[in-house]
A and B are shown apart, each in its own frame.
Chain A
Amino acid sequence: MTEVDPPLDWPDYRSTQTRAPSRPLVVLPYALSELSGPAFGNGDVDAADADLTRQGEGEPLGERIVVTGRVVEDDGRPVRNALVEVWQANAAGRYRHDGDRHPAPLDPHFHGAGRCLTDADGAYRFVTVKPGAYPWGNHENAWRPAHIHFSVFGRMFTQRLVTQMYFPGDPLFEYDPIFQSVRDPQARERLVAQFDLSLTQPEWALGYRWDIVLRSTPFEQ
């Protein structure tokens, strides 16, 4: 809707060419929030769902990491009790999905999906392994930088956000049309987690911090 988000029409990402609407979006005649009820999707969330390293018979291969941060509205208020869902490739860059034909090994101990609810401070926390980069056929020698997919529900349906978290310093950033679809360089940086030594667990896991900012609901401003 604003320059923060990528355009729908972005031919460098080939799939947009047959899927992005060709007509302009219709601007609604009144505040969006009036259209939408509360966000749902909470469902049953088990604390164990936030640890992606404990979902198989044994431990997955890869670099064990903690990924944590806060979900807040753009006025700084925490989004509490919100459902955060993640999915990702394994350490070798392979998704546990029938459509993924990348000839990298599946890990029998890694399913690659997790969920949790934010706490009273808006904080979420996952334990997982660092995903690998993978080729994706969009153009010659196309590789996705390592990323974790995030789906977030705010308090309102209008705050819904699906995005991807990247890792700092990835040399593939400049070649990735999905990352580059966010035109504002500062906005792009907000897709990149920060390595945070204070989050690492000695002898056990590295730590990354990534905060997520949702738009506020207009009528409450």
Chain B
Amino acid sequence: MTLPRTPSQTVGPYFAIGLTQRAQNEVVRDGDVRLIGRVTDGNGEPVSDAMVEICQPEGWGRCGTDADGRYSFVTVRPADGRPLDVLVFARGLLRHLGTRIYFPDAGEDEVLRAVPPEARETLFALEEDGAYRFDIRLRGDGETVFFAV
């Protein structure tokens, strides 16, 4: 038996009242990794109504972007050296996007090898002032690689 699935619809512009009223951006309580980033659109403008969710073996978290498109998380690096799984939701996305955050010293893996070489760098966080920065460009120059999820 296979039941037909329920389709996705956009999260819309007002999801904050339902999804991000309470702070949930501590993936791991008192984790030693601060992850920051900014979500921008095809014009390079900040996306102020996006939500980023992170999933890793150690926990889950989410964060809505602010007026400047910025988000932040507190977490730890996954124990087994794996990347972080990321979902991105926003007004204008009829279904969510999936991507991954690799830490700067991560080696090549099977997933990276499936990504066009010139686009792989969009999946790597940068070290910046004691934090890791991972900007998400939804469209256009430097467009982040998104996976079929």
Contacts and interface: CB of A to CB of B under 8 A. Distances in A.
Contacts of B4: 4, 74, 186-187, 190, 213
Nearest to B41: A18
A162 B139 contact: no
A218 interface: no
A41 B45 CA distance: 30
A187 B143 CA distance: 30
Interface stretch (A94-102, A117-125, A197-205): A94-102
Interface in B8-61: 8-19, 21-22, 24, 41-43, 45, 47, 49, 53, 55-57, 59-61
A114 B21 CA distance: 11
B18 A191 contact: no
A160 B2 CA distance: 18
Nearest to B61: A40
B94 A26 contact: no
A92 interface: no
Interface residues of B, number: 64
Interface in A100-134: 100, 111-115
Interface stretch (A31-39, A58-66, A167-175): A31-39
Majority-rule SS of B interface residues:
loop
Contacts of A99: 13-14, 49
A216 B90 CA distance: 25
A101 to B, nearest CB: 11
B6 A191 contact: yes
Nearest to A36: B85
B74 interface: no
A56 interface: no
Interface string B126-149: 000000000000111001111111
A23 B9 contact: no
B91 A75 contact: no
B19 A85 contact: yes
A188 interface: yes
Given A87-B19, A158-B149, A160-B87, A190 B94 contact: no
Nearest to A210: B6
Contacts of B21: 113
A18 B110 contact: no
Interface of B: 1-19, 21-22, 24, 41-43, 45, 47, 49, 53, 55-57, 59-62, 85, 87, 89-97, 100, 110-111, 113-115, 119, 138-140, 143-149
